[in-house]
Structure 1
Protein backbone atom coordinates (compact mmCIF):
# COMPACT_ATOMS: atom_id res chain seq x y z
CA UNK A 1 0.00 0.00 0.00
CA UNK A 2 1.52 3.38 -0.96
CA UNK A 3 2.58 5.60 1.90
CA UNK A 4 2.71 2.74 4.39
CA UNK A 5 6.09 1.91 5.89
CA UNK A 6 7.35 -1.67 5.70
CA UNK A 7 8.00 -3.07 9.21
CA UNK A 8 11.59 -3.96 10.02
CA UNK A 9 12.10 -7.76 9.92
CA UNK A 10 13.37 -9.56 13.02
CA UNK A 11 16.91 -10.26 11.75
CA UNK A 12 17.28 -6.61 10.75
CA UNK A 13 16.15 -5.45 14.21
CA UNK A 14 18.62 -7.87 15.78
CA UNK A 15 21.47 -6.55 13.64
CA UNK A 16 20.56 -2.98 14.55
CA UNK A 17 20.60 -3.74 18.28
CA UNK A 18 23.87 -5.66 17.98
CA UNK A 19 25.47 -2.75 16.12
CA UNK A 20 24.55 -0.47 19.03
CA UNK A 21 26.06 -3.04 21.43
CA UNK A 22 29.21 -3.30 19.30
CA UNK A 23 29.46 0.48 19.22
CA UNK A 24 29.02 0.81 22.98
CA UNK A 25 31.57 -1.87 23.78
CA UNK A 26 34.06 -0.33 21.36
CA UNK A 27 33.61 3.10 22.97
CA UNK A 28 34.32 1.53 26.35
CA UNK A 29 37.33 -0.41 25.02
CA UNK A 30 38.66 2.60 23.13
CA UNK A 31 38.50 4.86 26.17
CA UNK A 32 40.22 2.21 28.31
CA UNK A 33 42.99 1.81 25.72
CA UNK A 34 43.49 5.58 25.53
CA UNK A 35 43.67 5.77 29.32
CA UNK A 36 46.17 2.90 29.40
CA UNK A 37 48.25 4.68 26.77
CA UNK A 38 48.19 7.88 28.81
CA UNK A 39 49.23 5.95 31.92
CA UNK A 40 52.16 4.38 30.08
CA UNK A 41 53.48 7.68 28.70
CA UNK A 42 56.38 6.12 26.82
CA UNK A 43 57.05 3.15 29.07
CA UNK A 44 56.53 -0.45 28.02
CA UNK A 45 53.77 -2.59 29.43
CA UNK A 46 55.28 -6.03 29.95
CA UNK A 47 52.82 -8.88 29.51
CA UNK A 48 54.23 -12.37 29.05
CA UNK A 49 57.54 -10.99 27.82
CA UNK A 50 56.00 -8.89 25.07
CA UNK A 51 56.04 -5.10 25.21
CA UNK A 52 53.18 -2.86 24.22
CA UNK A 53 54.03 0.80 23.77
CA UNK A 54 51.84 3.76 24.60
CA UNK A 55 51.65 4.55 20.88
CA UNK A 56 50.21 1.09 20.23
CA UNK A 57 47.63 1.61 22.95
CA UNK A 58 46.72 5.01 21.51
CA UNK A 59 46.38 3.56 18.01
CA UNK A 60 44.22 0.68 19.28
CA UNK A 61 42.03 3.11 21.21
CA UNK A 62 41.54 5.39 18.22
CA UNK A 63 40.72 2.48 15.92
CA UNK A 64 38.24 1.16 18.47
CA UNK A 65 36.56 4.56 18.74
CA UNK A 66 36.41 4.87 14.94
CA UNK A 67 34.76 1.46 14.63
CA UNK A 68 32.33 2.44 17.39
CA UNK A 69 31.37 5.58 15.51
CA UNK A 70 30.78 3.68 12.28
CA UNK A 71 28.71 1.00 14.04
CA UNK A 72 26.51 3.55 15.83
CA UNK A 73 25.95 5.64 12.69
CA UNK A 74 25.04 2.55 10.67
CA UNK A 75 22.63 1.37 13.37
CA UNK A 76 20.99 4.80 13.42
CA UNK A 77 20.55 4.69 9.62
CA UNK A 78 18.75 1.33 9.53
CA UNK A 79 15.27 2.84 9.39
CA UNK A 80 15.91 4.99 6.32
CA UNK A 81 19.02 3.36 4.87
CA UNK A 82 19.51 1.61 1.58
CA UNK A 83 21.74 -1.26 0.51
CA UNK A 84 24.90 0.65 1.47
CA UNK A 85 23.84 0.61 5.12
CA UNK A 86 23.24 -3.15 4.95
CA UNK A 87 26.61 -3.77 3.30
CA UNK A 88 28.37 -1.46 5.77
CA UNK A 89 26.78 -3.28 8.70
CA UNK A 90 27.86 -6.62 7.24
CA UNK A 91 31.42 -5.32 6.88
CA UNK A 92 31.47 -4.09 10.49
CA UNK A 93 30.09 -7.46 11.63
CA UNK A 94 32.77 -9.24 9.63
CA UNK A 95 35.54 -7.05 11.10
CA UNK A 96 34.33 -7.66 14.65
CA UNK A 97 34.04 -11.42 14.06
CA UNK A 98 37.50 -11.56 12.43
CA UNK A 99 39.01 -9.61 15.33
CA UNK A 100 37.37 -11.98 17.81
CA UNK A 101 38.63 -14.99 15.88
CA UNK A 102 42.15 -13.55 15.73
CA UNK A 103 42.05 -12.89 19.47
CA UNK A 104 40.88 -16.44 20.12
CA UNK A 105 43.61 -17.96 17.95
CA UNK A 106 46.40 -15.89 19.52
CA UNK A 107 44.99 -16.25 23.03
CA UNK A 108 45.18 -12.49 23.60
CA UNK A 109 41.57 -11.74 24.39
CA UNK A 110 39.17 -13.01 26.99
CA UNK A 111 36.16 -11.58 25.16
CA UNK A 112 36.96 -13.17 21.80
CA UNK A 113 33.88 -15.42 21.91
CA UNK A 114 31.66 -12.37 22.42
CA UNK A 115 33.24 -10.67 19.42
CA UNK A 116 32.79 -13.73 17.26
CA UNK A 117 29.14 -14.04 18.32
CA UNK A 118 28.22 -10.34 17.97
CA UNK A 119 30.01 -9.91 14.67
CA UNK A 120 28.94 -13.24 13.22
CA UNK A 121 25.25 -12.76 14.00
CA UNK A 122 25.33 -9.22 12.59
CA UNK A 123 27.08 -10.41 9.43
CA UNK A 124 24.73 -13.33 8.81
CA UNK A 125 21.58 -11.33 9.52
CA UNK A 126 22.63 -8.54 7.16
CA UNK A 127 23.27 -11.03 4.35
CA UNK A 128 19.87 -12.73 4.64
CA UNK A 129 17.25 -12.25 1.96
CA UNK A 130 14.91 -10.55 4.43
CA UNK A 131 17.50 -7.83 5.01
CA UNK A 132 18.11 -7.39 1.28
CA UNK A 133 14.37 -7.05 0.72
CA UNK A 134 13.96 -4.55 3.54
CA UNK A 135 16.82 -2.31 2.44
CA UNK A 136 15.81 -2.58 -1.22
CA UNK A 137 12.21 -1.59 -0.57
CA UNK A 138 10.67 1.31 -2.49
CA UNK A 139 10.57 4.55 -0.53
CA UNK A 140 7.96 7.28 -0.51
CA UNK A 141 9.12 10.82 -1.20
CA UNK A 142 8.38 13.14 1.71
Structure 2
Protein backbone atom coordinates (compact mmCIF):
# COMPACT_ATOMS: atom_id res chain seq x y z
CA UNK A 1 0.00 0.00 0.00
CA UNK A 2 1.29 3.47 -0.97
CA UNK A 3 1.76 5.75 2.06
CA UNK A 4 -0.25 8.95 2.21
CA UNK A 5 1.58 12.16 1.70
CA UNK A 6 1.21 15.19 3.94
CA UNK A 7 -0.82 16.96 1.30
CA UNK A 8 -3.28 14.09 1.06
CA UNK A 9 -3.64 13.82 4.83
CA UNK A 10 -4.39 17.53 5.16
CA UNK A 11 -6.06 18.69 1.98
CA UNK A 12 -7.09 22.06 3.53
CA UNK A 13 -3.44 22.99 3.99
CA UNK A 14 -2.98 23.31 0.25
CA UNK A 15 -2.13 26.65 -1.25
CA UNK A 16 -5.49 26.84 -2.96
CA UNK A 17 -7.48 26.68 0.25
CA UNK A 18 -9.03 30.11 0.96
CA UNK A 19 -9.11 29.37 4.70
CA UNK A 20 -5.41 28.59 4.86
CA UNK A 21 -3.61 31.60 6.43
CA UNK A 22 -0.33 30.38 4.97
CA UNK A 23 -1.62 29.79 1.53
CA UNK A 24 -1.72 32.12 -1.46
CA UNK A 25 -4.25 34.91 -1.02
CA UNK A 26 -6.98 35.21 -3.60
CA UNK A 27 -7.04 38.40 -5.63
CA UNK A 28 -10.08 40.60 -5.25
CA UNK A 29 -12.01 41.35 -8.40
CA UNK A 30 -11.52 44.76 -9.89
CA UNK A 31 -14.13 47.38 -9.19
CA UNK A 32 -14.66 46.39 -5.54
CA UNK A 33 -12.80 48.47 -2.92
CA UNK A 34 -10.68 46.65 -0.42
CA UNK A 35 -11.32 46.75 3.28
CA UNK A 36 -10.16 49.99 4.85
CA UNK A 37 -10.12 52.01 1.63
CA UNK A 38 -12.68 54.78 0.97
CA UNK A 39 -15.10 54.18 -1.81
CA UNK A 40 -14.82 56.54 -4.73
CA UNK A 41 -17.86 58.12 -6.29
CA UNK A 42 -18.77 56.78 -9.72
CA UNK A 43 -17.55 58.74 -12.67
CA UNK A 44 -19.97 61.39 -13.88
CA UNK A 45 -21.60 61.87 -10.46
CA UNK A 46 -20.69 65.25 -8.87
CA UNK A 47 -19.64 65.27 -5.21
CA UNK A 48 -22.08 66.37 -2.55
CA UNK A 49 -22.17 70.04 -1.57
CA UNK A 50 -21.67 73.25 -3.51
CA UNK A 51 -18.96 73.67 -6.07
CA UNK A 52 -15.71 74.56 -4.39
CA UNK A 53 -17.10 74.02 -0.89
CA UNK A 54 -16.76 71.06 1.48
CA UNK A 55 -19.44 68.40 1.41
CA UNK A 56 -22.72 69.68 2.76
CA UNK A 57 -21.76 73.38 2.57
CA UNK A 58 -24.11 75.40 0.36
CA UNK A 59 -22.84 77.56 -2.46
CA UNK A 60 -23.94 81.16 -2.00
CA UNK A 61 -24.51 83.54 -4.86
CA UNK A 62 -21.51 85.78 -5.35
CA UNK A 63 -19.16 83.31 -3.68
CA UNK A 64 -19.41 84.72 -0.14
CA UNK A 65 -21.29 82.73 2.50
CA UNK A 66 -23.73 84.72 4.59
CA UNK A 67 -23.75 87.80 2.36
CA UNK A 68 -27.26 89.32 2.12
CA UNK A 69 -28.66 89.35 -1.41
CA UNK A 70 -31.43 91.79 -0.53
CA UNK A 71 -31.07 95.15 1.20
CA UNK A 72 -31.30 94.70 5.00
CA UNK A 73 -34.07 96.50 6.84
CA UNK A 74 -31.62 98.78 8.66
CA UNK A 75 -30.09 100.00 5.39
CA UNK A 76 -33.58 100.57 3.96
CA UNK A 77 -34.46 102.64 7.02
CA UNK A 78 -31.23 104.66 6.66
CA UNK A 79 -32.06 105.36 3.02
CA UNK A 80 -35.54 106.60 3.95
CA UNK A 81 -34.04 108.84 6.63
CA UNK A 82 -31.63 110.34 4.12
CA UNK A 83 -34.55 111.23 1.87
CA UNK A 84 -36.36 112.73 4.86
CA UNK A 85 -33.28 114.83 5.66
CA UNK A 86 -33.21 115.99 2.04
CA UNK A 87 -36.84 117.06 2.38
CA UNK A 88 -36.05 118.98 5.54
CA UNK A 89 -33.24 120.73 3.69
CA UNK A 90 -35.71 121.85 1.05
CA UNK A 91 -37.89 123.32 3.80
CA UNK A 92 -34.83 124.99 5.36
CA UNK A 93 -33.80 126.55 2.04
CA UNK A 94 -37.30 127.94 1.66
CA UNK A 95 -37.16 129.48 5.14
CA UNK A 96 -33.78 131.07 4.41
CA UNK A 97 -35.02 132.61 1.18
CA UNK A 98 -38.01 133.97 3.07
CA UNK A 99 -35.61 135.59 5.56
CA UNK A 100 -33.69 137.16 2.68
CA UNK A 101 -36.92 138.53 1.24
CA UNK A 102 -37.77 140.01 4.64
CA UNK A 103 -34.41 141.79 4.86
CA UNK A 104 -34.87 143.24 1.39
CA UNK A 105 -38.32 144.46 2.36
CA UNK A 106 -37.00 146.13 5.48
CA UNK A 107 -34.42 147.95 3.42
CA UNK A 108 -37.27 149.65 1.60
CA UNK A 109 -38.79 151.02 4.79
CA UNK A 110 -38.47 154.83 4.91
CA UNK A 111 -37.64 154.81 8.61
CA UNK A 112 -34.68 152.48 8.10
CA UNK A 113 -33.25 154.01 4.98
CA UNK A 114 -30.06 155.90 5.73
CA UNK A 115 -29.60 154.04 9.02
CA UNK A 116 -25.97 152.95 8.88
CA UNK A 117 -26.29 150.46 11.72
CA UNK A 118 -29.25 148.74 10.09
CA UNK A 119 -27.53 148.63 6.71
CA UNK A 120 -24.47 146.97 8.23
CA UNK A 121 -26.64 144.40 9.99
CA UNK A 122 -28.62 143.81 6.80
CA UNK A 123 -25.46 143.18 4.78
CA UNK A 124 -24.10 140.82 7.41
CA UNK A 125 -27.41 139.03 7.70
CA UNK A 126 -27.73 138.65 3.93
CA UNK A 127 -24.21 137.24 3.66
CA UNK A 128 -24.87 134.71 6.43
CA UNK A 129 -28.15 133.68 4.87
CA UNK A 130 -26.58 133.16 1.44
CA UNK A 131 -23.88 131.01 3.04
CA UNK A 132 -26.46 128.93 4.87
CA UNK A 133 -28.46 128.50 1.65
CA UNK A 134 -25.36 127.24 -0.16
CA UNK A 135 -24.59 124.82 2.69
CA UNK A 136 -28.18 123.57 2.75
CA UNK A 137 -28.17 122.97 -1.02
CA UNK A 138 -24.90 121.00 -0.81
CA UNK A 139 -26.28 118.97 2.07
CA UNK A 140 -29.50 118.41 0.14
CA UNK A 141 -27.67 117.06 -2.91
CA UNK A 142 -25.40 114.88 -0.72
CA UNK A 143 -28.43 113.39 1.05
CA UNK A 144 -30.05 112.36 -2.24
CA UNK A 145 -26.85 110.97 -3.76
CA UNK A 146 -26.01 108.91 -0.66
CA UNK A 147 -29.57 107.65 -0.42
CA UNK A 148 -29.26 106.34 -3.98
CA UNK A 149 -25.88 104.78 -3.16
CA UNK A 150 -27.50 102.73 -0.39
CA UNK A 151 -28.85 100.44 -3.08
CA UNK A 152 -25.85 100.08 -5.38
CA UNK A 153 -22.84 101.55 -3.59
CA UNK A 154 -19.88 99.73 -2.09
CA UNK A 155 -17.88 100.24 1.06
CA UNK A 156 -16.87 103.71 -0.13
CA UNK A 157 -20.53 104.74 -0.09
CA UNK A 158 -20.85 103.38 3.46
CA UNK A 159 -17.85 105.42 4.61
CA UNK A 160 -19.24 108.48 2.83
CA UNK A 161 -22.59 108.11 4.59
CA UNK A 162 -20.92 107.87 7.98
CA UNK A 163 -18.71 110.93 7.31
CA UNK A 164 -21.73 112.87 6.04
CA UNK A 165 -23.76 111.95 9.13
CA UNK A 166 -20.87 112.80 11.46
CA UNK A 167 -20.50 116.29 9.99
CA UNK A 168 -24.25 116.75 10.17
CA UNK A 169 -24.24 115.81 13.85
CA UNK A 170 -21.58 118.42 14.57
CA UNK A 171 -23.56 121.12 12.75
CA UNK A 172 -26.76 120.01 14.47
CA UNK A 173 -25.17 120.45 17.88
CA UNK A 174 -23.70 123.83 17.01
CA UNK A 175 -24.83 126.36 15.92
CA UNK A 176 -28.30 125.15 14.94
CA UNK A 177 -29.36 123.31 18.10
CA UNK A 178 -32.19 123.01 19.22
CA UNK A 179 -33.74 123.84 15.83
CA UNK A 180 -31.83 120.90 14.34
CA UNK A 181 -33.02 118.33 16.90
CA UNK A 182 -34.86 116.27 14.27
CA UNK A 183 -31.77 116.24 12.05
CA UNK A 184 -29.64 115.17 14.99
CA UNK A 185 -31.82 112.16 15.82
CA UNK A 186 -32.09 111.07 12.18
CA UNK A 187 -28.34 111.32 11.59
CA UNK A 188 -27.54 109.27 14.69
CA UNK A 189 -29.93 106.55 13.51
CA UNK A 190 -28.36 106.59 10.04
CA UNK A 191 -24.92 105.91 11.53
CA UNK A 192 -26.28 103.12 13.75
CA UNK A 193 -28.06 101.32 10.90
CA UNK A 194 -25.20 101.63 8.42
CA UNK A 195 -22.54 100.57 10.95
CA UNK A 196 -24.36 97.36 11.94
CA UNK A 197 -22.96 94.01 10.82
CA UNK A 198 -25.68 93.39 8.23
CA UNK A 199 -25.17 96.90 6.86
CA UNK A 200 -21.43 96.30 6.58
CA UNK A 201 -22.04 92.97 4.81
CA UNK A 202 -24.45 94.66 2.40
CA UNK A 203 -22.03 97.40 1.35
CA UNK A 204 -19.13 94.91 1.08
CA UNK A 205 -21.06 92.40 -1.01
CA UNK A 206 -19.88 91.33 -4.45
CA UNK A 207 -21.70 93.31 -7.13
CA UNK A 208 -22.18 92.46 -10.76
CA UNK A 209 -20.16 94.80 -12.93
Q: TM-score per shorter chain, which class?
A: 0.7 to 0.9
Structure 2 stretches lacking a partner, 5+ long: 1-59, 63-67, 108-118
TM-score of the superposed pair, with normalisation by structure 2: 0.56
Task: Give the count of matched residue pairs.
Answer: 131
Aligned match for 2:138, one of 42, 63, 66:
66
CA displacement at 1:109 relative to structure 2: 4.0
Q: State whether residues 9 and 131 of structure 1, in contact with CA within 8 Å, keep that contact through their aligned partners in structure 2.
A: yes
User: What is residue 78 of structure 1 aligned with on the other side?
Assistant: 150
Runs of at least 5 residues in structure 1 that lack an aligned partner in the other structure:
46-50
1:54 is aligned to 126
Deviations 1:70-127 (A, max 9, x none): 1111101211111121111112222222222224xxxx54433212201111112222
Q: How large is the Cα RMSD of the aligned pairs?
A: 2.3
Aligned-partner Cα distance in 1 for 2:94–2:160: 24
Counterpart residue number, 1:91: 163
The structure whose residues are more often strand, as a share, is 1
Find the counterpart in structure 2 of residue 31 from structure 1.
Answer: 94
Contact 1:19 1:75 in 2 (8 A): yes
Please tell me whether Structure 1 or Structure 2 has the larger radius of gyration of its CA atoms. 2
Secondary structure at the residue paired with 2:205? coil
Task: Give me the whole-angstrom Cα distance separating, in 1, the residues matched to 2:154 and 2:80.
Answer: 18
Q: Which of structures 1 and 2 has the larger relative contact order (alpha carbons within 8 angstroms, sep 6+)?
A: 1
- Which structure dedicates a bigger proportion of its chain to helix? 1
Q: What is the Cα deviation at residue 67 of structure 1? A: 0.3
Q: TM-score, normalised by structure 1?
A: 0.79
Aligned position for 1:18: 81
Dislocated runs of 4+, deviation >2 Å: 41-45, 108-113
Q: Distance in 1 between matches of 2:192 and 2:100?
A: 35
Q: Which residue of structure 2 lines up, in the alignment, with residue 118 of structure 1?
A: 186
Partner of 1:130: 198
